[in-house]
C-alpha cells in the first residue's frame, strides 16, 4: 500500500513538472528586464550631456557620468557601477548574476556614450563581483581593431582556469565620489 502511494505521488509530481516545463515562457518572466532598448532609458545621453556640462573639471564630468550611468541601471534594479580613474580609463562593474551577453551590451553602450561625450578612443574594463567579494576582471570594451569607430567587447574566457585571481580590487584605487 505504501509503495502504491509513493508511486502515485511521484507520477503526479512528474506530470506537474513536465507540464510546467512544457508551458514555460521565459519572456513572460517579470524578473527579466529587456535591455534591447538601452538608448531609451533615462537619463538619456542628451540628458547626461546637459548634466555633465555643468561640472568644472574633466574628472568631475567623468565621475558625474558614472553616477548618472549607474542611476540608469539602478532604476531598473540592475546592479551596475561605472567609475573612472584620473587617466580616463573607465571601470564597469556588474553583478556576476548578469548574463555575459547583457554585460557586453552594457559595456558597448558605455563605450559608445563615453566616446560621444568625451571623445577619443575609450577603454572600458569590465569587472564582475558577488556581494562581499573582490571584483574580478572579466573583459574589456575598446575600439575595434579594423573599425576604430565601433566598439569591440572581448571577454577573458579563461579566468576560471587560473588558480589565483588577479588583484582586481580597483575600487580602493579610484577617486571617491563616483
- The per-residue pLDDT for 19 is 75
- The per-residue pLDDT for 125 is 96
- The per-residue pLDDT for 37 is 79
Q: How far is it, in rounded angstroms, from Cα 28 to Cα 109? A: 25
Alpha helices, DSSP H, located in 75-178: 100-118
Q: Give the CA radius of gyration of the chain.
A: 21
- The per-residue pLDDT for 178 is 46
Alpha helices, DSSP H, located in the chain: 2-22, 45-52, 58-74, 100-118
Q: How far is it, in rounded angstroms, from Cα 15 to Cα 19? A: 6
pLDDT along the chain (178 residues), means of 10: 86 82 62 72 94 92 96 93 94 93 94 95 93 89 92 81 50 52
Count of C-beta atoms within a 10 Å radius of residue 168: 18
Amino acid at each position: 500500500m505504501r509503495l502504491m502511494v509513493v508511486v502515485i505521488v511521484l507520477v503526479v509530481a512528474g506530470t506537474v513538472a513536465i507540464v510546467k516545463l512544457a508551458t514555460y515562457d521565459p519572456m513572460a518572466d517579470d524578473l527579466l528586464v529587456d535591455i534591447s532598448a538601452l538608448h531609451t532609458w533615462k537619463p538619456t545621453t542628451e540628458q547626461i550631456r546637459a548634466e555633465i556640462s555643468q561640472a568644472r573639471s574633466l574628472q568631475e564630468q567623468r565621475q558625474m557620468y558614472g553616477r548618472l550611468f549607474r542611476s540608469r541601471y539602478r532604476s531598473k534594479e540592475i546592479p551596475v557601477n561605472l567609475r573612472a580613474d584620473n587617466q580616463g580609463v573607465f571601470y564597469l562593474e556588474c553583478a556576476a548574476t548578469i548574463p555575459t551577453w547583457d554585460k557586453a551590451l552594457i559595456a558597448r553602450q558605455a563605450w559608445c556614450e563615453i566616446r560621444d561625450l568625451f571623445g577619443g578612443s575609450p577603454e572600458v574594463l569590465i569587472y564582475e563581483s558577488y556581494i562581499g567579494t573582490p571584483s574580478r576582471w572579466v573583459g574589456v570594451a575598446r575600439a575595434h581593431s579594423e573599425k576604430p569607430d565601433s566598439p569591440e567587447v572581448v571577454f577573458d574566457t579563461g579566468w576560471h582556469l587560473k588558480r589565483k585571481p588577479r588583484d582586481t580590487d580597483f575600487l580602493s584605487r579610484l577617486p571617491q565620489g563616483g
